[in-house]
């Protein structure tokens, strides 16, 4: 189901401010591992189950981003995947892509004083599990998208051929990996829904790459 609603005044103000700064140095729009670790990101109780569930639902290949929303009991409420187009890593652009996907799959929680749902990001990429500037840009984008959608900012997870890694926590595993087959579904009792792909976020990244 797709939800549609007008953006809040807070989101509009923040977006306008960001648009005026869009020409600034993209390196500013990223988070270092120490900054991420100090941000108080809530820990996942069972990160492997979350990773396996998202891997089974979306079957990501390198350059695929999966944003998922979890309830307070860590049950999956919505998720969407899209392909990152070839373009310089920019947290502002990643924020827009993630926010577009969140708006497609779940209503915002901006009316709540305290966020109760958490968004996590799984990014499948080439290379090893060590932090990269691209990871820093995704971290910045996830944090800002969560603020604009009324969600808690949750874990950022990379998926490579070596396995998965929750950056900033030091937790990870060899399976699933970017090359592995989907494991039995285990995030809830319901069968996995068809993943949402493409949409506005892919178009945003496509246009950025064409410039």
CATH of the domain at 133: 3.40.140.10
Average confidence score pLDDT of the chain: 81
Domain containing 199: what range?
A: 28-210
Token duo for residue 99: 């926010």
Let me know if residue 20 belongs to a domain: no
Output the six-digit token pair for 176: 């699933």
Tens-digit pLDDT profile for residues 113-149: 899 999 999 999 999 889 999 999 999 999 999 999 9
- Three-state DSSP class for residue 58: helix
Mean pLDDT over residues 12-18, rounded?
44
Residue 194 lies in a domain: yes
The predicted pLDDT at position 28 comes to 75
pLDDT band of residue 25 (cuts 50, 70, 90) is low
Q: Tally the domains of the chain.
A: 1
List, for residues 88-116, the tens digit of each pLDDT value.
Answer: 899 999 999 999 999 999 999 999 889 99
Is 12 part of any domain? no
Q: pTM value? A: 0.76
Token representation of residue 109: 């929680």
The residue-averaged pLDDT of 59-74 equals 96
- Give 69's strand partners: 78, 119
**pLDDT-above-70 percentage for the chain:** 74
The answer to whether 80 and 196 have CB atoms below 8 angstroms apart is: yes
DSSP 57: H
- Whether 156 maps to a domain, the answer reads yes
- pLDDT score of 184: 64
Tell me: cis bond preceding 32? Omega within 30 of 0 counts. Answer: no
Q: Once rounded to an integer, what is the mean pLDDT over residues 62-87?
A: 95
Contacts of 126 (CB under 8 A, 6+ apart): 62, 160, 161
The span from the CA of 129 to the CA of 70, in Å, is 24
């Amino acid at each position: 189901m797709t939800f549609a609603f007008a953006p809040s005044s807070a989101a509009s103000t923040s977006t306008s401010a960001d648009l005026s700064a869009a020409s600034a140095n993209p390196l500013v729009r990223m988070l270092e591992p120490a900054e991420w670790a100090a941000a108080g990101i809530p820990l996942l109780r069972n990160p492997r189950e979350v990773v396996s569930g998202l891997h089974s639902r979306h079957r990501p290949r390198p350059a695929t981003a999966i944003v998922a929303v979890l309830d307070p009991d860590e049950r999956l409420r919505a998720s969407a995947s899209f392909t990152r187009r070839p373009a310089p890593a920019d947290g502002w652009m990643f924020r827009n892509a993630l926010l577009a996907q969140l708006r497609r799959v779940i209503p915002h929680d901006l009316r709540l004083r305290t966020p109760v749902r958490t968004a996590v990001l799984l990014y499948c990429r080439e290379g090893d599990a060590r932090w990269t500037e691209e990871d820093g840009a995704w971290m910045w984008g996830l944090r800002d998208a969560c603020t604009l959608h009324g969600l808690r900012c949750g874990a950022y997870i990379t998926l490579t051929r070596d396995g998965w890694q929750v950056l900033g926590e030091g937790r990870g595993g060899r399976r699933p990996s970017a090359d592995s087959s989907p494991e039995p579904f285990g995030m809830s009792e319901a069968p996995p829904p068809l993943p949402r792909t493409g949409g506005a976020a892919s178009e945003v990244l496509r246009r950025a790459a064409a410039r």
